[in-house]
Amino acid sequence: MSVTIETTDDLASCLRLRRVVFIEEQGVSEADELDGLDNTCLHLLARDGATPVGTARVLFDGEVAKIGRVCVLRSHRGSGLGAGLIRAALAAAEGRARKARLGAQVHALGFYEALGFTAVGPVFDDAGIPHRDMVRDL
């Protein structure tokens, strides 16, 4: 099977993936994970055949596209799918924003740097996990 990434209205599948990765695996509280912004975001869903395996969302705020809630099921990590989701989010933001921004978990800074992002500002706590803001031009 091949993995596809598309924009989606299937928010339920995106939320199930985020529950597994962020709430169950990483211990993020449901209150922190469900921030009330999903209805205003563009959502991406990666499927392996018919099975959802990864997701990301893009929140447009003026000229900034905020990429967030990027996650991949353990079974598909290391496959390049995370990078594919980021590239798809950047492509979706082209023409709608001038900059992309995201809050990266500190352990993933190198992953995002390889995709053209630059870390800015200090390390901060988000849901008990150290993060750093990152930006790149579109």
Instruction: Write the CATH number for 67.
Output: 3.40.630.30
Query: Residue 1's pLDDT is what?
Result: 54
Judged by DSSP in three states, 22 sits in: helix
The DSSP output letter for 2 is -
- Would residue 120 count as lying in a domain? no
> Does residue 58 form part of some domain?
yes
Query: Is 105 inside a domain boundary?
Result: no
Q: What is the pLDDT of residue 2?
A: 86
In a domain, 75, yes or no: yes
The verdict on residue 32 lying in a domain is yes
What pLDDT score was predicted for residue 37? Answer: 96
| Domain contains 134 | no
Residue 91, C-beta contacts closer than 8 angstroms, at least 6 positions apart: none
pLDDT at 127: 86
Q: Residue 56 belongs to what domain range?
A: 3-99
Give the single-character DSSP code of 85. Answer: H
**Tally of domains within the chain:** 1
Residue 113 included in any domain:
no
Contacts by residues 108-114 (CB-CB < 8 Å, ≥ 24 positions apart): 109/134, 111/82, 111/83, 112/86, 114/83
The confidence score (pLDDT) of residue 65 equals 98
Q: What is the pLDDT of residue 70?
A: 95
Task: Supply the pLDDT for residue 111.
Answer: 95
- What are the average pLDDT values for consecutive 10-residue runs of the chain, which has 138 residues? 91 97 93 94 97 98 96 95 97 96 95 97 92 97
Residues 59 and 39: their CA atoms lie apart, in Å, by 10
Tell me if 77 is assigned to some domain.
Answer: yes
Are 74 and 25 in contact by the 8 Å Cβ rule? The answer is yes
According to the model, what pLDDT value does residue 34 have? Answer: 92
